[in-house]
Amino acid sequence: MSTPRSQFLSDAQVATDDVAQRGFLRQALGGYYVSRDVQKARYRDWEQARDAAAMAKWNAVNRLDRTLTTFATNFERNGGKIHWARDSAEAREIISKICRDAGAKAIIKSKCMTTEEIHLNDALEAEGYGVVESDLGEFIQQLRKEPPFHFVFPCMHLKREAISELFTKHLGTAATDSPEELTMIARRHLRQLYVDADVGISGANFLVAETGQISITENEGNARLTCALPRVHIALAGIEKVIERLDDLAVLLPMLATAGAGQPMTCYNTLYAGPRQPGEPDGPSEFHVVLLDNKRTALLADPEQRDALHCIRCGACLNVCPIFKNIGGFAYGTTYQGPIGSVLTPHLRGLQQWNHLSGASSLCGACTEACPVRIDLHHHLLHNRRNAVLAHVSLFDRLFHGAFGWVIGRPKLFAFGGKVFRATLPLLKKLPLPYLSTWLKSRELPEAPKKSFRDEWKGSQS
Amino acid sequence: MKSAQETIMQRIREALRLPAAKPHLKSTAASGTPAKAGRPWLPDGGETPDARLTVLTENLIKLKAQLIRVADMSQASLALAELSRTKQWKRLAYHAHMDTQALIKHVGCETWQADAEFDKQKLESCDAGLTTCEAIVAQTGSIIVSSSTNGGRSLSILPHAHVVIARVDQVMGDLSDAFTFIQQRNSDHMPSMISFITGPSRTGDIERILVLGAHGPKELFLILVG
Amino acid sequence: MRVSLFIPCFVDQLTPRVGMASAQVLKRLGHEVEFRDAQTCCGQPSFNSGHWDVARAAALRALDVFKGAEVVVGPSASCVAMMKKFYPEILAGHPRLQEAQDLAARTFEFGEFLVRKLGITDVGATFAGKATYHDGCHGLRELGLKEEPRQLLRAVKGLTLLESEEAETCCGFGGMFSVKFPMISTAMAQVKCDALVRSGADIIVSSDPSCLLQIGGYLTREGKAIRTLHLSEVLANGS
Position A408 pLDDT exceeds 70: yes
Half-sphere exposure of A453 (CA within 13 A, CB side): 28
Residue of C nearest to A420 (CA): C13
CATH topology of domain A48-294: Rossmann fold (3.40.50)
Task: Determine whether the interchain pair B38/A246 forms a contact, defined as Cβ–Cβ distance below 8 Å.
Answer: no
Q: Find the mean pLDDT for residues A167-196.
A: 96
Per-residue pLDDT, B188: 80
Question: Which chains have 3 or more CB–CB distances shorter than 8 Å to chain C?
Answer: A
In percent, how much of chain B has pLDDT > 90?
88
**Residue B25 forms part of a structural domain:** no
Per-residue pLDDT, B29: 58
**Residue B75 forms part of a structural domain:** yes
In percent, how much of chain C has pLDDT > 90?
99
Q: What is the pLDDT of residues A48-97, one digit of tens each?
A: 999 999 999 999 999 999 999 999 999 999 999 999 999 999 999 999 99
Per-residue pLDDT, B34: 52
**Residue B38 forms part of a structural domain:** no
Per-residue pLDDT, A462: 73
Distance from CA of A309 to the nearest CA of B (A): 12
The domain spans of chain A are: 48-294, 395-461
**Which residue segment(s) compose the domain that C49 sits in?**
2-116
Q: Which of C91, C116, C141 is the last residue of a domain?
A: C116
Q: Find the mean pLDDT for residues C94-114.
A: 98
Angle, helix A160-171 to helix A179-196, in steps of 10 degrees: 40
Do C63 and C135 lie in one domain? The reply is no
Give the model's confidence band at A294: pLDDT under 50 very low, under 70 low, under 90 confident, else very high: very high
SS (H, E, C) B103-127: HHHHCCCEEEECCCCCCHHHHHCCC
Choose from A27, A442, A460 for mutation: most chain C CBs within 10 A.
A442
Do C45 and C131 lie in one domain? The reply is no
Q: What is the pLDDT of residues C27-37, one digit of tens each?
A: 999 999 999 99
Helix or strand holding residue B129 (H, E): strand B128-131
Do C10 and C110 lie in one domain? The reply is yes
Do C202 and C229 lie in one domain? The reply is yes
Regarding beta strands C2-5 and B91-94, do their DSSP bridges make them parallel or antiparallel, or are they unpaired? unpaired
Do C109 and C25 lie in one domain? The reply is yes
Q: Find the mean pLDDT for residues A102-113.
A: 96
Please state, in angstroms and rounded to a whole number, the distance separating the CA atoms of residues B152 and B143. Answer: 15
Per-residue pLDDT, A387: 96
Neighbour-count burial of A103, counting CB atoms closer than 10 A to its CB (0-12 exposed, 13-18 middle, 19+ buried): exposed
Contacts of C226 in chain A (CB under 8 A): none
SS (H, E, C) chain A: CCCHHHHHHHHHHHHHHCHHHHHHHHHHHHHHHHHHHHHHHHCCCHHHHHHHHHHHHHHHHCCHHHHHHHHHHHHHHCCCEEEEECCHHHHHHHHHHHHHHCCCCEEEECCCHHHHHCCHHHHHHHCCCEEEECCHHHHHHHHCCCCCCCCCCCCCCCCHHHHHHHHHHHHCCCCCCCHHHHHHHHHHHHHHHHHHCCEEEECCCEEECCCCEEEEEECCCHHHHHCCCCCEEEEEEEHHHEECCHHHHHHHHHHHHHHHHCCCCCCEEEEECCCCCCCCCCCCCEEEEEEECCCHHHHHCCCCCHHHHHCCCCCHHHHHCHHHHHHCCHHHCCCCCHHHHHHHHHHHHCHHHHHHHHHCCCCCCHHHHHCCCCCCHHHHHHHHHHHHHHHCCCHHHHHHHHHHHHHHCCHHHHHHHHHHHHHHHHHHCCCCCCCHHHHHHHCCCCCCCCCCHHHHHHHHHC
Task: Determine whether the interchain pair C54/A326 forms a contact, defined as Cβ–Cβ distance below 8 Å.
Answer: no
Name residue B201's amino acid.
S
What is the value of ipTM here, to two decimals? 0.96
Per-residue pLDDT, B38: 60
Distance from CA of A127 to the nearest CA of B (A): 24
Q: What is the pLDDT of residues B23-49, one digit of tens each?
A: 988 876 555 555 565 678 999 999 999
Distance from CA of A458 to the nearest CA of C (A): 9
Position C21 pLDDT exceeds 80: yes
Q: Find the mean pLDDT for residues A363-387.
A: 97
Choose from B9, B12, B160 for mutation: most chain A CBs within 10 A.
B12
Q: Find out whether A197 and A106 touch, Cβ atoms under 8 Å.
A: yes
Q: What is the pLDDT of residues A389-404, one digit of tens each?
A: 999 999 999 999 999 9
Position B183 pLDDT exceeds 70: yes
Per-residue pLDDT, B1: 74
Choose from B208, B209, B218 for mutation: most chain A CBs within 10 A.
B208
Q: Which of A254, A265, A272 sits opposite B192 (nearest CB)?
A: A272
Q: What is the pLDDT of residues A33-49, one digit of tens each?
A: 999 999 999 999 999 99
Position C80 pLDDT exceeds 80: yes
Task: Determine whether the interchain pair C40/A411 forms a contact, defined as Cβ–Cβ distance below 8 Å.
Answer: yes
Q: What is the DSSP string of C100-124?
A: HHHHHHHEEEHHHIIIIIS--S---
Task: Determine whether the interchain pair A267/B95 forms a contact, defined as Cβ–Cβ distance below 8 Å.
Answer: no
* Mean pLDDT score across all residues of chain C: 97
Q: How many domains does chain B have?
A: 1
* Mean pLDDT score across all residues of chain A: 96
Give the model's confidence band at C172: pLDDT under 50 very low, under 70 low, under 90 confident, else very high: very high
Tell whether C143 is within 8 A of chain A (Cβ). no
Per-residue pLDDT, B28: 62
Neighbour-count burial of B55, counting CB atoms closer than 10 A to its CB (0-12 exposed, 13-18 middle, 19+ buried): buried
Task: Determine whether the interchain pair A250/B21 forms a contact, defined as Cβ–Cβ distance below 8 Å.
Answer: no
Do C67 and C128 lie in one domain? The reply is no
Q: What is the CATH number of the domain that holds B103?
A: 3.40.50.10420
Q: Which of C49, C81, C116 is the last residue of a domain?
A: C116
Q: How many domains does chain C have?
A: 2
* Mean pLDDT score across all residues of chain B: 94
Question: Which chains have 3 or more CB–CB distances shorter than 8 Å to chain A?
Answer: B, C
Question: Which chains have 3 or more CB–CB distances shorter than 8 Å to chain B?
Answer: A
Residue A89, number of CB atoms within 10 A of its CB: 13
Q: What is the pLDDT of residues B192-209, one digit of tens each?
A: 999 999 999 999 999 999
**Residue B7 forms part of a structural domain:** no
**Which residue segment(s) compose the domain that B190 sits in?**
45-225
Q: Which of C81, C116, C151 is the last residue of a domain?
A: C116
Which chain A residues in 337-366 lie under 8 Å from chain C, judged by CB atoms?
359-366
Tell whether A405 is within 8 A of chain C (Cβ). yes
Q: Find out whether A55 and B29 touch, Cβ atoms under 8 Å.
A: no
Do C102 and C128 lie in one domain? The reply is no
Do C139 and C88 lie in one domain? The reply is no
Position B128 pLDDT exceeds 70: yes
Contacts of C61 in chain A (CB under 8 A): 408-409
Q: What is the pLDDT of residues B87-107, one digit of tens each?
A: 999 999 999 999 999 999 989
Dihedrals φ, ψ of C210, to 5°? Answer: -70, -40
Name residue A299's amino acid.
L
Position C81 pLDDT exceeds 80: yes
Which chain C residues in 43-62 lie under 8 Å from chain A, judged by CB atoms?
43, 45-54, 57-58, 61
